[in-house]
Amino acid sequence: MPVIEKTTAKQKFMEFLTKKNLRVTSQRQAIIDTAFGTDEHFTADQLLEWSRDRDKSVSRATVYRTLPLLTESGLVREMDFGKNYKFYDPNYAEHPNHNHIICQDCEKIVEFESEKIAKLEDEISHRLGFSMKTQRLQITGNCEELKKLGACKKKSC
């Protein structure tokens, strides 16, 4: 994905901080650079580790205190894939209606968008008396390699 978009997400978050009279500390800088410097979903623990590569002084507490700000800004989305820890998705601002399909075995995650599904969701919500705000759709399945071989090699299918 083009770097320009990521720069924008970072800038948007800076504006979000300023608007809320929150300070741009070096630790927050490192965390923001990390979060918006990847396309991947990450965990709090990974965000800490990678942020520390940029700034040794980043602590676990600060990561956990920054994550709610990231999600509150709407630029990062908290995801639950049934683990006992959460994942965070930094591609949310650009693709607010994207969905996930996860291989049951190798845990490969693919993102996709569907206009048709989004439209149906909106219709159904109205019919049930709700106005839709957000949606999350997760499909689990087996990827092709798994189907052919009976089991897929972790990290490779």
List the interface residues with a copy of itself, window 111-130 (CB under 8 A): 112, 114, 116-117, 120-121, 124-125, 128-130
Round to whole Å and give the CA distance between 139 and 152.
18
Round to whole Å and give the CA distance between 20 and 14.
10
Q: Which two tokens stand for residue 19?
A: 């608007």
Tell me which amino acid residue 3 is.
V
Q: Which stretch binds a copy of itself (CB under 8 A): 12-20, 42-50, 87-95, 101-109?
A: 101-109
| Binding mask of the shown chain, residues 61 to 100, with x at each position contacting DNA by CB under 7 A | xx-xxxxx---------------xxx--------------
Binding partner of residue 106 among DNA, a copy of itself, none, CB under 5 to 8 Å per kind? none
Round to whole Å and give the CA distance between 39 and 86.
16
Residue 28: CB minimum distance to a copy of itself, A: 24
Round to whole Å and give the CA distance between 19 and 31.
19
Helix, coil or strand: residue 95: coil
Q: Is 78 in the site for a copy of itself (CB under 8 A)?
A: yes
Beta bridge partners of 103: 141
Q: Which residues bind a copy of itself (CB under 8 A)?
A: 78, 80, 82, 101, 103-104, 110, 112, 114, 116-117, 120-121, 124-125, 128-144, 147
